[in-house]
Amino acid sequence: METGFGDRPELLDQLAADGYLVIADALPRALTEGLLQEWQRRYAAGAAAPAQIGKGAQKHEAQSIRSDRIHWLEASDPQPDVAAWFAVMRSWSRAINQSFFLSINAFECHFACYEPGAFYQKHRDRFQKDNGRRLSLAFYLNRDWCSTDGGELVLFDPEAEDRILKTVLPTFGTLVIFDSQRFPHEVRPTRRQRLSLAGWLKSIPAHEAALQGTVLD
């Protein structure tokens, strides 16, 4: 399966230079379609829950900060398209480790749904006292998205946080990767249902990865 890195080493060069990367048609279309259909099936079955902020005992809902609904995935998920998604992440983590020596050994991810009006205010993907998240990923599952639909991902300059570096429409098959600790970012309010996969490549103690079910081998 094409992973986006195997025959395109220039992508890793761009990630190293800029700290972020946007890849159109990042995965085979059949896999992207399969992930969309699986998320739609789970969402219709009521699998999604309101997203929370914080970690551990501090986790709580905060609709004024983020108003999406999510469904967490595990590496052991038997659904073929989800299993293929994790296989791609294993391949990518190996390529990234070889280039950047980040010691990535875990991956956590969830499906995300933003219903019309939903958003996520500006934030960084780093918890207080926890720098395990190294790279953030967003993979979009929205057919025929246009600028009037809203829901853009906005990356801000870490040195001047009011300055926009990149605005990304959540178009079908587009993948965004960026440094979790550097870049403030937000999801602007959407005007139609917005579906995606969100994930984090992490470097954490091996026993924690095993307990969380997020080990990448």
Q: According to the model, what pLDDT value does residue 35 have?
A: 98
Residue at 163 is within a domain? yes
Q: According to the model, what pLDDT value does residue 15 have?
A: 93
Q: Which of 8-17, 65-74, 198-207 has the lowest mean pLDDT?
A: 198-207
User: Could you give the CA distance from residue 34 to residue 40 in angstroms, rounded to a whole number?
Assistant: 10
Residue at 57 is within a domain? no
Residue at 55 is within a domain? no
Mean pLDDT of the chain: 90
Q: Which of 90-94, 179-183, 212-216 has the lowest mean pLDDT?
A: 212-216
Q: According to the model, what pLDDT value does residue 58 have?
A: 76
- Tokens standing for 213? 């079910």
- Kindly state the average pLDDT of the residues 133-146: 96
59 pLDDT more than 90: no
Q: Is 41 exposed, middle or buried (0-12, 13-18, 19+ CB in 10 A)?
A: exposed
Residue 119: CATH number of its domain: 2.60.120.620
Residue at 3 is within a domain? no
Q: According to the model, what pLDDT value does residue 9 have?
A: 78
Confidence of residue 155 (pLDDT cuts 50, 70, 90): very high
Q: According to the model, what pLDDT value does residue 29 have?
A: 96
Q: According to the model, what pLDDT value does residue 101 have?
A: 81
Q: How many domains does the chain have?
A: 1
Q: Three-state SS string across the chain, please?
A: CCCCCCCCCHHHHHHHHHCEEEECCCCCHHHHHHHHHHHHHHHHCCCCEECCECCHHHCECCCCCECCEEEEECCCCCCHHHHHHHHHHHHHHHHHHHHHCCCCCEEEEEEEEECCCCCEEEECCCECCECCEEEEEEEECCCCCCHHHECCEEEEECCEEEEEEEEECCCCCCEEEEECCCCCEEECCECCCEEEEEEEEECCCHHHHHHHCCECC
Residue at 4 is within a domain? no
213 pLDDT more than 80: no
Q: According to the model, what pLDDT value does residue 62 have?
A: 78
68, 113 contact by CB (below 8 A): yes
Confidence of residue 52 (pLDDT cuts 50, 70, 90): confident
Residue at 187 is within a domain? yes
Residue at 59 is within a domain? no
Residue at 122 is within a domain? yes
72 pLDDT more than 70: yes
Confidence of residue 129 (pLDDT cuts 50, 70, 90): low
| 104-to-61, 82, 154, 217 alpha-carbon distances in Å | 29, 20, 25, 10
- Kindly state the average pLDDT of the residues 189-208: 88
44 pLDDT more than 70: yes
- Give the domain range for residue 130: 10-47+64-212
Tens of pLDDT along 77-128? Answer: 999 999 999 999 999 988 888 888 888 889 999 999 999 999 999 999 887 6
Confidence of residue 211 (pLDDT cuts 50, 70, 90): low
- Kindly state the average pLDDT of the residues 164-192: 97
